[in-house]
Amino acid sequence: MTRSGEVAGRWFERAPGPWAAALAAILLASAGSTAAAQERPAVSSDQPVVVLEADTLVKDDATQTITAEGNVEARYQGRTLRTKRLIYNLVDNTIRAQGGVEIIDPDGTVRYADEVEVDERLDTGVATGFGARIAGGGTAAAAAAVRPSPGRNELQRVVYTACPICKVEGGKTEGPTWTLRARSAVQDQNSKMISYRDVVLQFGGVPVIRDCFRPTSAATAASAHSTNSRTTGRFHRSRISPSRRACTAT
């Protein structure tokens, strides 16, 4: 790849075309369903460019890949991606971020992963070691997040809390007052619903409610008891109530 500029000894690329679409896809992959739908990247001549910086940027004709490595940072429409390595596959138009992946949204939400891979159209993707620090104080984590088809996200071993993790005497940390744990969760971006399976609500580390959520309106949930979850993006406001083993929340 031709070097388009250099800043402080680093490669500096204003990426056009498919490379930009793929970078935009990985930056939008963890955004909320509305943002992703409105901003889905498309390859066009007037597409906004993605600014990419890295210590090295190499095109390998043998493997048909472009690799950015070393303190990689990409910026697109107010979002920033930081990672150790980015690999763009020119054959199947997928992009993979490897090592210490961090995606920062304009509202301050920060998402983390060990590795993220998506196609440039956001139709399919996968993230391992997924976590998020949500603007307003919530935190979430999942062992894996998979997008098997457009509009559907599947998360495994999900943990969420809106409570802060506090420091106590002696420099130790104190866990959150409550946490929500689920074996799995499925987000349907078309219906804007999330289905949880095998759910446990814990207070002080002690399970108090198991198995499910009953959906309520956002307004009802917002005014309900503080044990209600209140998040953004992949997790939605919900009221806790015993019901079926597999259930939904809005």
pLDDT per residue as tens digits for the range 45-102:
455 567 888 898 888 889 999 898 999 998 888 888 899 999 989 888 888 999 999 9
- For 36, list phi and psi in degrees, rounded to 5: -65, -40
Comparison of pLDDT for 8 and 156, the residue scoring more: 156
pLDDT of 39 above 60: no
Where is average pLDDT lowest: 14-23, 126-135, 175-184, 232-241? Answer: 232-241
Comparison of pLDDT for 241 and 91, the residue scoring more: 91
Comparison of pLDDT for 26 and 132, the residue scoring more: 132
Q: Do residues 122 and 97 touch, judged by C-beta distance below 8 A?
A: no
How buried is 222 (Cβ within 10 angstroms: 0-12 exposed, 13-18 middle, 19+ buried)? exposed
- For 245, list phi and psi in degrees, rounded to 5: -70, -40
Question: Can you count the helices (H) and strands (E) in the chain?
Answer: 3, 19
Closest CA to 90 of 21, 6, 27: 21
pLDDT value, residue 209: 76
d(CA 106, CA 99): 22
Closest CA to 21 of 53, 47, 52: 47
DSSP, res 138? -
pLDDT value, residue 12: 58
pLDDT value, residue 156: 92
Phi-psi domain of 36 (left: phi exceeds 0; alpha: psi -120 through 50; beta: other): alpha
Tokens of 192: 């804007």
Closest CA to 120 of 33, 13, 32, 28: 28
Query: What percent of the chain shows pLDDT beyond 90?
Result: 12
Residue whose structure tokens are 């990419």: 52
d(CA 206, CA 208): 6
Domain ranges of the chain: 1-105, 134-250
- 169-193 pLDDT, tens digit each: 666 767 788 888 999 988 787 777 7
Tokens of 155: 């998360």
pLDDT category, 219, cuts 50, 70, 90?
very low
Q: Which whole number is the average pLDDT over 221-233?
A: 34
d(CA 245, CA 136): 30
